[in-house]
Amino acid sequence: MKTQSHTAPGSRKSFLKKALMAGSGLTFGSALSGSLSTLKASESGKPDSVRGGKNGCWAPTTCNGCASWCSLEVYIQNGRATKIRGNNASKVNEGKACPRSHMGIQELYDPDRLKQPMKRTNPEKKRGVDPGFVPISWDEAIDEITDRILELREKDETHKYMMVQGRNSGLHPIIYDRMTRIIGSPNRINSDGLCQEAGKLSHWYQCGFWGFPQWDLKHTRYIICWGTDPVSSTRQVSHHNSSWGKMIARAKVAVVDPRLSATAAKADEWMPIKPGEDGAVAGAIAHVILTRGLWSKEFVGDFKDGENRFKIGQTVDEELFDEKLTKGVIKWWNLELKDRTPEWAAERAGIPAEQIERVAIDFGRAGSQAISMVGRGPVAQPRGSYNALAGNALVGLVGAVGTEGGNMSGNPFFNEPLPGPDDYLDQTAKNGLGHPTIDQRGRLDLPAIFQNQAGTGMVSNKAADGVIDKDPNEIKVAISYYGNFAFSAPGARRWEKALGSIPFYVDINTHPSEVSWFADIVLPAANGMFEKNAPVVRHGNRHRHVTLHRRVVDRLWNVKSDETEVPWMIAEKLAEKGFPNLLDHYKTYRDPETGAEPQNGEELELFATKHITQNYWNPDRHRGGDKFESWESFYNTGVWNSDPYVLKRRWGNMPTESGKFEFYSEPLKRAITQHAEKHGLTTDQVMESANYVARGEQAFIPHYEPPVIIDEGNNDGLILVDHKSRLNREGRSANSPWYYEFKDVDPGDVANQDVAKINPKDARRLGISEGDDIVMSFKENSITCKARLWEGVRPGTVAKSYGQGHWAFGRRASLEFGKKARGGNNNEIIPAEYDRLTGTSAYYATVRVRVSKA
């Protein structure tokens, strides 16, 4: 059944122009300051309309619970969300929703949400010290923010402005890119560097796309999961949940993970690898595939005379091999693989050679129907780029590139870009944009490669050091939104220090968060899933979908959309004060249907959404996939689907330099060489400074890099194996009651607790028993939690789910709001380390922590 009674805003007949909720009868008292109550307004204020009616209706929208961006439906009664399910119209998640999607409603109606703008009265910015927030009006808040921005502009100091973005929607360029550039700052910092850029690097240099692949689960015969738990995490959890059961009845699954994940528990092979040794195992698998003659002759080619010369320890003459759709297989063999036997790998990885051999043979036999799914485990590590290249290279070796049952890039899509800012950049802005960025990208030890260019990648986590050290310059004004780096970034305490040192800092957030604690002004954001319009793009299941976040409920509080309404207000106020460029720019985002200029932030949001998606809903501009009659019909369906992936569409025309799948990469060589030349050094010296062992040509092929795990010289310590919970909506579900109640959905975990899973052998040695309170520490930082003795972790490691340990995120997430954390945040004991080639933060195989009874 599909009921659609939600009218499309902006359709000619139903243009919504509602008065925004005014004022809100606050009950703040200074006496309450210091407690959580200071961060919330009263629940007064009337709904701006009553929608859904008493009997209700299903309305499509898009989940913002994780980076899967599933297309969902919400049941709305009297303007309130009451239930969630998948949207059948999506060909990516096919009407399915994962378990944590339901917590979206708890997030939406969380009584601890920010309900109105607030201003700090206590200048001392420190954990545990009450900020003394008091309510202010939106106008007062925007007035102060624009004063600070204009001050920078007057002094030609716009490079001292910083924008920090966590999560986002397709409308993010409005605040993140256009606003920052028109103000005149190079400092656009987002969360990419906290995520998985090293994985993208492997797809770029080998297959020619900077992004995430998709996998054809419905036809595959073998999957190796490298440090990913696809039924709990990754980017298509709803689709994986619904397809995995049928898939494992037909295909085999091997999971490489030091921890028995939910996926490993149902897999054919669990390979509890020593953290950081993924490159060794991937190399050995490639070695076996070649020595046993299991590579794809169709894709890779063959020896001219048909005789397999891949023999242990023996180099091969390139002339003897007729390589087809790949580049560099013989170089790769000669430089790296010839000695990478399963026995060699077994010694390092601590898993049996026979198992490595068996997995390699089964994977090789599955051929073009084999998947090598490389998750964050092996790549978000120091030296992770080379693990990523090694894991993804297997896809090329068996020719499972864009094949049925194989690995593929995302389908083409046709978003219409928003107008560019160039005409609105004045000389002040241009001066500001010429400065280096605060994240120190491009320094000798931080090549930070993005696509073919060194020095252009996002080193998100380094920005904290840049701010603290005022290097390359001071940051005087900062705005952040939809992110919580003082919780989500390794070395989290540095962010407390950094944010606390910025003279004027604004956070736009749905919740009081660890970052908002340090803000001078806190702006309450509309909830991304239920209270704003915006498009998002994702792919999976051989399709791409462009799915809409929609305003489907009545806003209960005085909140605004982070990416549109807030920057619009800033633009208007800047114009009032004599700097009209931003507003003039935003006015170019016209309604593609009527040509009307936006008159307010709500219209900016709507017109931008219509603009970006016009090639889907305007039948005259249709370029493929679902075809709609009108904006209204698209809005009411909530999602556009691409045509199915055309199998083997990139065979022979891979968008790499050679048009082939590249084991050996000239563009990578050029990027590293360019970085070396900039610093007047050799590529070997760059490798050394950036902490890699590769020298010479090895740097341009997938190869083994030993892990670099930091310790304090304490061999007693355990290597931390961080992992996401099935119920993590990244770092932001910790104030939902269900997060705790159902925590035992993660193998080894316990409901209502935060546990560290320790192998009984280690526990005995450390004198720790089941249920003990324990301390985990690294250098001066420590966290506390409970011990769980469990054989699902490799001896020598300790596995702990990320997500708890909030000290300022609401009444349930913290034991004492603002002061005392509930459970422990792993990011406080993971030091800030990097895969330096890309600037990706390291989480795994990064630190050996001390574990002891509390």
Using CB under 6 A, list all residues that contact ligand MGD. Answer: 64, 66-68, 166-167, 191, 194-196, 226-229, 232-235, 237, 256-259, 261, 273, 275-276, 278, 375-378, 481-485, 487-488, 508-511, 513, 525, 527-528, 562, 721-724, 726, 728-732, 802, 826-827, 843-845
- Report if residue 821 touches ligand SF4, rule: CB under 6 A: no
| 228 or 428: CB nearest Mo ion | 228
Residues 848/798, Cβ–Cβ less than 8 Å: no
509 binds, among Mo ion, ligand SF4, ligand MGD, none (CB under 5 to 8 A by kind): ligand MGD
Among 21, 63, 553, 571, binds ligand SF4 (CB under 6 A): 63
- The answer for 764, left when phi > 0, alpha when psi is -120 to 50, beta otherwise, is alpha
x-marked contacts with ligand SF4 along 203-242 as a string, rule CB under 6 A: ----------------------------------xx----
Stretch of 95-103, 128-136, 356-364, 624-632 contacting ligand SF4, by CB under 6 A: 95-103
> Per the structure block, which two tokens stand in for 227?
């440090």
Q: Tell me which residues in 265-304 interact with ligand SF4 (CB under 6 A).
A: none
Residues 6 or more apart in contact with residue 390 via CB below 8 angstroms: 278, 279, 282, 283, 286, 702, 703, 704
489 is a contact residue toward Mo ion (CB under 5 A): no
101 touches, from Mo ion, ligand MGD, ligand SF4, none (C-beta below 5 to 8 Å by class) = ligand SF4
Nearest Cα to Cα of residue 325 among 407, 206, 211 = 206
**Interacting partner of 69 out of ligand SF4, ligand MGD, Mo ion, none (Cβ under 5 to 8 A depending on kind):** ligand SF4
Measure the CA–CA gap between 330 and 323, rounded to whole angstroms.
Answer: 9
Q: Which stretch binds ligand SF4 (CB under 6 A): 62-70, 322-330, 408-416, 690-698?
A: 62-70
Write the DSSP symbol of residue 174. Answer: I
Residue 527 contact among Mo ion, ligand SF4, ligand MGD, none, beta carbon within 5 to 8 Å by kind: ligand MGD
Phi (first) and psi of residue 127, to 5 degrees = -60, 140
Instruction: With contacts defined by CB under 6 A, name the span among 98-106, 147-155, 318-326, 599-607 that binds ligand SF4.
Output: 98-106
Which entry of Mo ion, ligand MGD, ligand SF4, none binds 63, CB below 5 to 8 A by partner kind?
Answer: ligand SF4
In DSSP terms, which residues pair with 60 in a beta bridge? 73
Token readout for 436 is 């280096």
Closer to ligand MGD by CB, 237 or 288: give it: 237
* Minimum CB–partner distance for residue 232 and ligand MGD (Å): 5
Distance in Å, CB of 480 to Mo ion, minimum: 17
Least distance between ligand SF4 and beta carbon 65 (Å): 3
Q: How far apart are CA 109 and CA 86, in angstroms?
A: 20
Q: How far apart are CA 379 and CA 172, in angstroms?
A: 26
Which entry of ligand SF4, Mo ion, ligand MGD, none binds 487, CB below 5 to 8 A by partner kind?
ligand MGD
Residue 601 CB neighbours (<10 A):
23
**Residue 581 binding: pick among ligand MGD, Mo ion, ligand SF4, none (C-beta 5-8 Å cut-off by kind):** none
- Is the Cβ of residue 618 or residue 797 nearer to ligand MGD in the bound state? 797
Distances (CA, A) of 632 to 368, 589, 596, 625: 42, 19, 17, 17
CB of 75 to ligand SF4, least distance (A): 15
**What's the token pair of residue 208?**
């020619």
x/- mask, ligand SF4, residues 694-733, rule CB under 6 A, reads: -----------------------------------x----
What is the C-alpha radius of gyration for the chain, rounded to an integer number of angstroms?
A: 26
149 vs 798, which CB is nearer to ligand MGD? 798
Q: How far is the CB of 192 from ligand MGD (least distance, A)?
A: 8
Binding status of residue 237 toward Mo ion by CB under 5 A: no
| 101 contacts ligand SF4 (rule: CB under 6 A) | yes
User: In angstroms, what is the minimal distance from the CB of 410 to ligand SF4?
Assistant: 16
Q: According to CB under 6 A, which one of 41, 70, 198, 821 is a site residue for ligand SF4?
A: 70
- Among ligand SF4, ligand MGD, Mo ion, none, what binds residue 338 when CB lies within 5 to 8 Å by partner kind? none
* C-alpha to C-alpha distance for 64 and 538, rounded to whole angstroms: 12
Cβ closest to ligand SF4, residue 242 vs residue 533: 242
> What number of chain residues touch ligand SF4 (CB under 6 A)?
13
731 binds, among Mo ion, ligand SF4, ligand MGD, none (CB under 5 to 8 A by kind): ligand MGD
70 touches, from ligand MGD, ligand SF4, Mo ion, none (C-beta below 5 to 8 Å by class)? ligand SF4
Q: What is the DSSP letter of 602?
A: H
What are the DSSP calls for 483-539, one per residue? --HHHHSSSHHHHHHHHHH-SEEEEEESS--TTGGG-SEEEEBPPTTTEEEEEEEEE
Task: Label the pairing between strands 820-821 and 814-816.
Answer: antiparallel
Q: Is 379 in the site for Mo ion (CB under 5 A)?
A: no
Tokens describing residue 186: 């190079």
Residue 124, class by beta-carbon neighbours within 10 Å (0-12 exposed, 13-18 middle, 19+ buried)?
exposed
Q: Which is nearer to ligand SF4, 238 or 516 (CB)?
A: 238
Give me the least distance between CB of 233 and ligand SF4, in Å please.
9
**Cβ at position 729, least distance to ligand SF4 in Å:** 6
Tell the smallest beta-carbon distance from residue 523 to ligand SF4 (Å).
25
DSSP state of 261: -
Cα 271 from Cα 345, distance rounded (Å):
12
Closest CA to 257 of 748, 699, 765, 587: 748
Q: Is 628 in the site for ligand SF4 (CB under 6 A)?
A: no
CA distance 422 to 588: 13
- CB burial of 222-248 (b: ≥16 within 10 Å; e: otherwise) equals bbbbbbbbbbbbbbbbbbbbbbbeebb
Q: Compute the distance between CA of residue 147 and CA of residue 142 in angstroms, rounded to an integer.
A: 8
User: Which burial class, exposed, middle or buried, applies to 46 when counting CB atoms under 10 A from its CB (0-12, 13-18, 19+)?
Assistant: exposed
The verdict on 519 binding Mo ion (CB under 5 A) reads no
Shortest distance (Å) from residue 276 CB to ligand MGD = 5
Separation of CA 569 from chain center: 28
Closest distance of CB 214 from ligand SF4, Å: 14
List residues bridging with 301 in a β-sheet: 323
Q: How many CB atoms lie within 10 A of CB 680?
A: 8
Pick between residue 724 and residue 848 the one whose CB is nearest to ligand SF4.
Answer: 724
Angle of the 565-576 helix axis to the 138-154 helix axis, nearest 10: 60
Q: Going by C-beta distance under 8 Å and a sequence separation of 6 or more, which residues neighbour residue 473?
A: 159, 160, 435, 438
Choose which of 28, 34, 57, 68 interacts with ligand SF4 (CB under 6 A). Answer: 68
Q: Which of residues 812-851 bind Mo ion (CB under 5 A)?
A: none
Q: How far is the CB of 753 from ligand SF4 (least distance, A)?
A: 22
By a kind-dependent CB cut-off of 5 to 8 A, residue 276 interacts, out of ligand SF4, ligand MGD, Mo ion, none, with: ligand MGD
Residue (of 467, 399, 477) closest to 432 by Cα position: 477
Task: Report whether 204 contacts 451 (CB < 8 A).
Answer: yes
**Tokens encoding 137:** 């009006």
Shortest distance in whole angstroms from residue 488 CB to ligand MGD:
3
- Of 508 and 837, nearer to ligand MGD (C-beta) is 508
Closer by beta carbon to Mo ion, 372 or else 728: 728
The reply to whether 195 sits near Mo ion by the rule CB under 5 A is yes
Contact residues for ligand SF4, defined by CB under 6 A:
63, 65-66, 68-70, 97-98, 100-101, 237-238, 729
Contact residues for Mo ion, defined by CB under 5 A:
195
